[in-house]
Amino acid sequence: MIKDITIGQYYPAESILHRLDPRVKLGGTFAFIISLFLFQTLYGYIFVALFLAGIIKLSKVPFGYIVKGLKAIVFILLFTSFFNLFLTAGDPIYTLRFFKIKITITDNGIINFIFYSIRLILLILGSSLMTFTTTPNQLTDGLEKVMKPLNRIKVPVHEISMMMSIALRFIPILLEETDKIMKAQMARGADFESGGIIKKAKSMIPILVPLFVSAFRRANDLAMAMEARCYRGGDGRTKMKPLRYHSRDYMAYLCLLIYLIGIVGIGILERMGIFVNFL
Amino acid sequence: MQIIFDKVNYIYSPGTAFARQAIKDVSFTINKGEFIGLIGHTGSGKSTLIQHMNGLIKATSGKIYFNGQDIYEKEYKLKQLRSKVGLVFQYPEHQLFETTVFKDVYYGPSNLGLDKLECDLRSYEALKMVGIGEELLDASPFELSGGQKRRVAIAGILAMKPEVLILDEPTAGLDPKGRDDILDQIAKLHEESNITIILVTHSMEDIANYADRLFVMNNGELVYQKPTKEVFSHYKELEEMQLAAPQVTYVMNALRDSGFLVKTDATTVEEAKDEILRVLKLRRNGDLS
């Protein structure tokens, strides 16, 4: 049921990707996302897809499990692709007349529709791979370390990363809570499936109210527990396991660099007109 | 035979790294009007098991029958089942959401599609049954004390007039008075309306006081399903499952071991008292058989 939402969750496995320093993974994900927008032709897509497939293979996270995470964002995907399909200028292929509104599907629209969807899917797969292979704690540690220089200009780096880690930590807890409350209300005869939109929205109230109450209760408890352990922010706080780069991390950076050079190379070749966009 | 489980298995998140068998080959029958106790250490599968009984969880394999009907059959209406098998979750007060106590209890029966008068009537009745006074009907459920909240939540299930009532640790986190109130009300309900009760608890005393038959879960398996007294005579095995017998059973065993020849099958304080008095009387008469 609702527990099937896998996006943003950690997937425990023994892989080189799991052992990498979170800073590498953060940087890698960032570079990967940017790299997705550096090319226009099919060659780029093939290159990125191959790279991603290799990484997924390395991560030992089952592919089916990753794809399951996509389910949660199908709506956003459809939404953007939909606009690409209908609102791109180009040679009209098919015109839909809906009363007085004319909707035209163009050749460029179809191309955009296909490729933007692929681009988005690649983006989500790539970035969810980071959360699959990195525990929230590692992620925050990495983020804190990467953002450390911002401390100089009075950005509360520690607080931001602490908030982030708590937020991530609470996703599974609140999902479980939602599941429990849904079941409890179903035991009282609640029906979340049938009826129109308004009825469905109304049927959410018995879930949302207890969920909010419990979220506040948990936040309160957590704050109390942190205070009881004398938490007072990041000043002078040391780490039990400070982040240190190993040789595998340097290797990973090297791979990333090669990948980026590859992508930029493809981009340059495109500009020079060597790869003709045959579409 | 009201509820029948036939070789029920349940696996959480099958096919992933999180896969875990929560229920292993569980079979049993429960008759109408029985008072069943269900014990087991934390994570033994009790909560998963009871969620099968009203169809909230679908078994990975195996069959479940309610009143002779297979609940996994296509035409079977699970919603109907849920109105007949009332399930009170752990910390049920966490599911309260309405603006007033009365409205919250009203939610259950109104979901059954009954007319307003019937819903009103059932809600009043249920609140009365759990001992919530009229002055609290219009209070916000969030203003009540812990014990009151829990009773309101239980009333929310009772208002659906279930034939079977399952309670998952209904007394967890309550003070002794709150605990006794709730258990007494459940016992009364059992006696007066002859509904089947399944009580999940960690308190062996509660089980000894109320349950006719005891189910013991261990690592997803149903190890015992016998009359309460018989199960508690296996207290050594129970301890290996991180469980125990009631305190008095230990007292009786200790007495016997130190040469005071009582029978050790007492599980409630009352029984223990009678047994000790019986032996004392025999002693006074000089008859030490």
* pLDDT over 90 at A20, yes or no: yes
Please, what's the largest Cα pairwise distance for chain B?
70
Please compute the mean of the pLDDT values over residues B109-129 and round it to a whole number: 92
Chain A residue closest to B79 (CA)? A189
Residue A37 has what pLDDT?
86
* Structure token digits, residue B56: 């909230």
d(CA A26, CA A46): 23
Cβ separation B89–A184 shorter than 8 A: yes
**What's the average model confidence in pLDDT over A264-271?**
86
Q: Are A184 and B92 an interchain contact pair (Cβ–Cβ within 8 Å)?
A: yes
- Is residue B102 predicted with pLDDT exceeding 90? yes
Tell me: pLDDT of A84 over 80.
Answer: no
Write down the pLDDT at residue B288: 55
Q: Which residues in chain A have Cβ-Cβ distances shorter than 8 Å to B83?
A: 189
Dist. CA B235–CA B190, nearest whole Å: 27
In this model, does residue B164 exceed pLDDT 90? Answer: yes
The answer, yes or no, to whether residue B287 has pLDDT greater than 70, is no
Considering CB atoms only, which of B13, B83, B95 is closest to A210?
A: B95
Return the residue of A nearest to B51 by Cα. A183
User: Could you tell me if residue B48 is inside a domain?
Assistant: no
Is position B278 within any domain?
Answer: yes
Q: What is the mean pLDDT of the segment spanning B39-48?
A: 91
Q: What percent of chain B has pLDDT over 70?
A: 99
Residue pair B3/B70 in contact (Cβ under 8 Å)? The answer is no
What mean pLDDT comes out for the span B275-287?
A: 85
Average per-residue pLDDT for chain B: 90
Which residues in chain A have their CB less than 8 angstroms from residue B94's CB? 180-181, 184, 210, 213-214
Please determine, for residue A278, whether its predicted confidence score (pLDDT) is greater than 80.
Answer: no
Mutate which: B58, B95, B100, B166, vs A, most A CBs within 10 A: B95
Contact A187 B87 (CB under 8 A): yes
Is B108–A188 a contact, with Cβ atoms under 8 angstroms apart? yes
pLDDT, one tens digit per residue, over A199-225 is: 888 888 999 999 999 999 999 999 999
What is the pLDDT, as a whole number, of residue A267?
Answer: 86
Asked whether residue B289 is assigned to any structural domain, the reply reads yes
Assess contact for B196 and B34: CB atoms under 8 A. Answer: yes
Name the least confident of A4-8, A244-248, A249-253, B179-183. A4-8
The total of structural domains in chain B comes to 1
Instruction: Give the model's pLDDT for residue A88.
Output: 74
Q: Which domain holds residue B283?
A: 246-289
Residue B45: how many other CB atoms lie within 10 Å: 22
Nearest CA in chain A to B166: A187
Predicted local confidence at residue B71, as pLDDT: 92
Mutate one of B50, B97, B103, B164 to test the A interface: name it (highest A CB count within 10 A): B97
Which of A99-113, A229-243, B90-104 has the least mean pLDDT?
A99-113
Chain segment B266-275, per-residue pLDDT in tens: 888 888 999 9
Is the pLDDT higher at A186 or at A78? A186
What does the pLDDT read at residue B220? 92
Does the pLDDT value for residue B42 go beyond 60?
A: yes
A97 three-class SS: strand
Q: Do B112 and A189 touch (CB under 8 A)?
A: yes
Asked if B97 reaches chain A (Cβ–Cβ under 8 Å), the answer is: yes
pLDDT band at A2 (very low <50, low <70, confident <90, very high): low
pLDDT at site A275: 61
Q: What secondary structure does DSSP assign to chain B, as a single string?
A: --EEEEEEEEEESTTSTT-EEEEEEEEEEE-TT-EEEEEE-TTSSHHHHHHHHTTSS--SEEEEEETTEETTSTT--HHHHHHHEEEE-SSGGGG--SSSHHHHHHHHHHHTT--HHHHHHHHHHHHHHTT--GGGTTS-GGGS-HHHHHHHHHHHHHTT--SEEEEESTTTT--HHHHHHHHHHHHHHHHHH--EEEEE-S-HHHHHHH-SEEEEEETTEEEEEEEHHHHHTTHHHHHHTT----HHHHHHHHHHHTT----S---SHHHHHHHHHHHHHHHHTT---
Residue B232 lies in a domain: no
CA dihedral of B53, B58, B62, B67, whole degrees rounded to 10: 40
- Neighbouring CB atoms inside 10 A of B61's CB total 12
B87 touches chain A (CB under 8 A): yes
CA B10 to chain centroid: 21
Size of interface A-B (CB pairs under 8 A): 63
Instruction: Kindly list the residues from chain B whose CB atom is less than 8 angstroms away from the CB atom of residue A190.
Output: 107, 111
Name which of A187-201, B176-190, B208-222 the model is least confident about. Answer: A187-201
Q: Is B56 on the interface with A (CB under 8 A)?
A: yes
pLDDT at position A53: 93
Q: Is the pLDDT of residue B104 over 90?
A: yes
* Record: contact B97-A209, CB cut-off 8 A: yes
- B98 against A78, higher pLDDT: B98
For B103, nearest residue in chain A (alpha carbons) = A206
**How many other C-beta atoms can be found within 10 angstroms of the C-beta atom of residue B158?**
29
Percent of chain A with pLDDT over 90: 32
CB atoms A65 and B16 under 8 Å: yes
Residue B114 lies inside a defined structural domain of this protein: no
What is the β-pairing status of strands B213-218 and B35-40?
Answer: parallel
Tokens read off for B191: 């006696």
Of B51, B107, B142, the CB nearest to A188: B107
Residue B251 inside a domain? The answer is yes
- B contacts of A189 (beta carbons < 8 Å): 79, 82-83, 108, 111-112, 160
Q: Is B124 a residue whose pLDDT tops 90?
A: yes
Chain A contacts of B146, Cβ < 8 Å? none
For residues A250-273, give the mean pLDDT: 89
More confident residue, A133 or B287: A133
Choose among B87, B88, B95: nearest Cβ to A181: B95
pLDDT tens digit sequence for B12-36:
888 777 788 999 999 999 999 999 9
Instruction: Give A-chain residues touching B56 at CB under 8 angstroms.
Output: 183, 186-187
A65 vs B156: CB contact, 8 Å cut-off? no
Write the pLDDT tens digit of every residue in A135-167.
888 888 898 888 889 988 988 888 888 888 888
Contact A182, A206 (CB under 8 A): no
In this complex, is the C-beta atom of B174 within 8 Å of any C-beta atom belonging to chain A? no
Would you call B96 and A210 a contact, using CB atoms and an 8 Å cutoff? yes
pLDDT exceeds 70 at position A279: no
Question: Nearest-CA distance from B239 to chain A in Å?
Answer: 30
Write the residue in A187, A191, A210 that is nearest to B97 by C-beta. Answer: A210
Is residue B108 situated within a structural domain?
A: no
Contact A189 B54 (CB under 8 A): no
- What pairing do the DSSP bridges indicate for beta strands B3-12 and A101-106? unpaired
Judge whether residue A107 has pLDDT over 90: no
Tell me what pLDDT residue A276 has: 58
Report, as an integer, the average pLDDT of A101-111. 77
